[in-house]
């Protein structure tokens, strides 16, 4: 049995432990009144100890909706000794002095001394833990989204390779058909010239969309040229003109005549504008009603060095609950099959690659407003050309011999026809192994080689390595035509070899310029 002095010493020790505990400790009696309230509890709940001693705990820290259950549980335990919460770790909401609710971890124990019923609650503030958990979830989700985007990049590589071959054929054949009609003085027989132009324009837009996705997957910097932003916007509006009109949607354009010429990747910005316009159109179609309108505006703030493009609609807008997720990859509010959830994520990435921003706001008429802000980097107006360089006219027949190597027969024939029109004698093969035989048969006497990279019967890298060993001079005259620059094989090979490369889809002018560069050093 402890002496009085030992008992006082023990009480002092216990009091010191309670005062210095990191967790909040609250002691109540059988009537639910506060007996002790340690400094950690003061820090958590915002009450001073002296102000709460003798006060009902229920009115201090227990939310109103839980007070009845607390009182019933306490009465039942005092009457029967049966309790559901004693000795267990519980996660519950608690109320601060300000009325704010916070998450806590709570453990209640019976510490009755003598004839006085006492209960001690050990309380741990869970706000920091919840914030850490939320941050971990966000990081995990971000990692998951990056993994999905990486998988998407691999998928795009395969899709692009399959699409670029037929797009090259469509583009090349249409341009050559138009040239043939012009040579025969067929100005517009049954509208054929206009049809060729429309097919060529559509194929070129498909090619630019593929390139935009590939640029996103590669995460490379945009290739900027002097561009008028309002021209890019006008092209996107015109492309959707028919579907907008059919849906009863009007498009209002607002911009001044003296807007600056900017340094932009016009294909990427075109894709962004197109995506935002399509989103606005779909939102208006789902909302229904009359007088549906999209307003597109461009303005320059020379003082801030920014150009802003706004796209407003008078639809229902974007609900507040999902605004924080609207730019997340694979998040979509559209019905299944109507959207992939990557459009806004890709658009945001493309704009940020230009050093700009894409944000969501509210339109004056109550709908959604998307704002693209781009750094004001003016370029010379005379340099703002968007067309691809045309093939050189009236070039003399160079009497050179070209070897074409491509496993796609239609692509090989198209390149051969283009080169033939440029005055080249052309030998066509459909794989690296066959090409080696042709080269050996002519003792390497080719002026240039245009070769695909991925082929089943001897690939491009294998042919290049063979040339380096057996015909090193010819190894300096080989160029690659490929739609698979995103694939790991192509990327590593091109970086290793330093060989020139042209991406599919291409135009006859592209091939002409590429051959000029390839044979210029001879």
146 vs 410, higher pLDDT? 410
CATH architecture of 4-125: 2-Layer Sandwich (3.30)
Name which of 38-42, 160-164, 212-216, 423-427 the model is least confident about: 212-216
| Start and end residues for every CATH 3.40.50.2300 domain found in the chain | 401-519
What's the CATH number for 401-519?
3.40.50.2300
Say if CB 71 and CB 32 are below 8 A apart: yes
107 vs 2, higher pLDDT? 107
Whole-number Cα distances in Å, 166 to 173, 497, 506, 512: 10, 27, 11, 19
Name which of 295-299, 330-334, 514-518 the model is least confident about: 330-334
Q: What pLDDT sits at residue 45?
A: 95
Q: How many residues does the chain have?
A: 522
Separation of alpha carbons 484 and 156, rounded Å = 10
Q: pLDDT class for 338, splitting at 50, 70, 90?
A: very low
pLDDT tens, 266-308? 878 888 998 899 889 988 888 877 788 999 999 998 888 889 9
Nearest CA to 213 out of 161, 153, 262, 253 is that of 153
Q: What pLDDT sits at residue 470?
A: 94
Q: List, in order, residues 6 or more apart from 395 with CB less than 8 Å away.
A: 422, 423, 512
| Start and end residues for every CATH 3.30.565.10 domain found in the chain | 223-387
Percent with pLDDT over 70 in the chain: 81
Q: Which residue has 């316009």 as its token pair?
A: 277
Separation of alpha carbons 519 and 359, rounded Å = 48
Residue 486 has pLDDT above 60, yes or no: no
Say if CB 83 and CB 75 are below 8 A apart: no
CA 77 from chain center: how many Å?
A: 57
CA 501 from chain center: how many Å?
A: 27
Segment (H or E) for 294: strand 292-301
Averaged confidence pLDDT in the chain: 82
Section 465-470 average pLDDT: 95
304: left (phi over 0), alpha (psi -120 to 50) or beta: alpha
Separation of alpha carbons 466 and 201, rounded Å = 40
Name which of 211-220, 227-236, 363-372 the model is least confident about: 211-220
Per DSSP, the three-state class of 178 is: helix
Section 312-318 average pLDDT: 87
Q: What pLDDT sits at residue 85?
A: 83
Q: pLDDT class for 521, splitting at 50, 70, 90?
A: low
Question: Which string of b and e fits 267-298 if b means at least 16 CB within 10 Å?
Answer: bbbbbbbbbbbbbbbbbbeeeeeeebbbbbbb
Name which of 183-187, 425-429, 478-482 the model is least confident about: 183-187
Residue 13 backbone phi and psi in degrees, to 5: -65, -45
Q: List, in order, residues 6 or more apart from 201 with CB less than 8 Å away.
A: none
What's the CATH number for 223-387?
3.30.565.10
Residue 214 has pLDDT above 50, yes or no: yes
pLDDT tens, 240-266? 887 888 888 999 999 988 888 888 888
- Against a cut of 0.75, is the pTM above it? no
Say if CB 391 and CB 509 are below 8 A apart: yes
Section 498-503 average pLDDT: 89
444: left (phi over 0), alpha (psi -120 to 50) or beta: left
Say if CB 425 and CB 401 are below 8 A apart: yes
Percent with pLDDT over 90 in the chain: 36
Residue 52 has pLDDT above 60, yes or no: yes
Whole-number Cα distances in Å, 34 to 21, 26, 97, 237, 280: 18, 7, 15, 70, 60
DSSP state of 23: S
Section 201-209 average pLDDT: 71
Provide the greatest CA pair distance for the chain: 123
Q: What pLDDT sits at residue 392?
A: 41
Separation of alpha carbons 438 and 446, rounded Å = 10
| Start and end residues for every CATH 3.30.450.20 domain found in the chain | 4-125
Say if CB 384 and CB 227 are below 8 A apart: yes
Q: What pLDDT sits at residue 217?
A: 55
Say if CB 480 and CB 494 are below 8 A apart: yes
Give Rg (Cα) of the chain: 36
Residue 469 has pLDDT above 70, yes or no: yes
Say if CB 54 and CB 34 are below 8 A apart: yes
């Amino acid at each position: 049995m402890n002496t009085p002095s030992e008992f006082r010493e023990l009480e002092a020790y216990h009091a010191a432990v309670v005062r210095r505990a990191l967790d909040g400790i609250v002691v109540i009696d059988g009537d639910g009144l506060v007996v002790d309230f340690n400094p950690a509890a003061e820090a958590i709940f915002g009450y001073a100890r002296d102000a709460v001693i003798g006060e009902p705990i229920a009115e201090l820290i227990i939310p109103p909706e839980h007070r009845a259950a607390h009182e019933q549980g306490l009465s039942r335990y005092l009457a029967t000794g049966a309790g559901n919460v004693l000795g267990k770790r519980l996660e519950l909401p608690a109320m601060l002095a300000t009325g704010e609710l916070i998450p806590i971890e709570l453990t209640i124990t019976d510490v009755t001394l003598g004839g006085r019923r006492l209960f001690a609650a050990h309380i741990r503030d869970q706000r920091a833990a919840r914030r850490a958990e939320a941050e971990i979830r966000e990081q995990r989700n971000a990692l998951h989204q990056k993994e999905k985007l990486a998988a998407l990049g691999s998928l795009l590589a395969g899709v692009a390779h399959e699409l670029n071959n037929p797009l090259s054929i469509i583009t090349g054949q249409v341009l050559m058909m138009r040239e043939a009609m012009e040579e025969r003085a067929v100005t517009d027989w049954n509208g054929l010239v206009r049809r060729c132009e429309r097919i060529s324009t559509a194929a070129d837009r498909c090619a630019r969309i593929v390139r935009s996705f590939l640029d996103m997957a590669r995460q490379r910097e945009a290739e900027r040229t002097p561009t008028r932003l309002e021209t890019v916007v006008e092209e996107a509006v015109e492309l959707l003109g028919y579907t907008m009109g059919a849906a009863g949607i009007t498009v209002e354009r607002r911009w001044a005549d003296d807007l600056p010429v900017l340094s932009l990747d016009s294909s990427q910005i075109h894709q962004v504008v197109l995506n935002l316009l399509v989103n606005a159109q779909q939102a208006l179609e789902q909302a229904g009603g009359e007088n549906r309108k999209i307003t597109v505006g461009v303005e320059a703030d020379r003082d801030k060095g920014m150009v802003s493009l706004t796209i407003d609609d008078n639809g229902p807008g974007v609900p507040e609950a999902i605004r924080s997720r609207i730019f997340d990859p694979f998040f979509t509010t559209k019905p299944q099959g109507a959207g992939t959830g990557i459009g806004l994520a890709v658009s945001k990435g493309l704009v940020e690659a230009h050093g700009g921003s894409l944000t969501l706001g509210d339109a004056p008429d109550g709908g959604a407003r998307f704002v693209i802000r781009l750094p004001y980097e003016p370029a010379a107006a005379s340099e703002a050309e968007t067309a691809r360089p045309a093939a050189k006219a009236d070039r003399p027949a160079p009497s050179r011999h070209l070897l074409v190597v491509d496993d796609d027969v239609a692509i090989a024939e198209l390149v051969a026809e283009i080169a033939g029109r440029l005055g080249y004698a052309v030998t066509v093969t459909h794989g690296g192994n066959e090409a080696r035989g042709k080269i050996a048969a002519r003792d390497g006497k080719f002026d240039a080689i245009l070769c695909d990279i991925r082929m089943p019967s001897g690939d491009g890298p294998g042919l290049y390595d063979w040339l380096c060993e057996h015909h090193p001079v010819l190894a300096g005259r080989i160029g690659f035509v490929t739609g698979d620059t995103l694939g790991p094989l192509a990327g590593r090979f091109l970086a290793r070899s330093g060989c020139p490369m042209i991406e599919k889809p291409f135009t006859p002018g592209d091939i002409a310029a590429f051959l000029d560069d390839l044979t210029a050093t001879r």
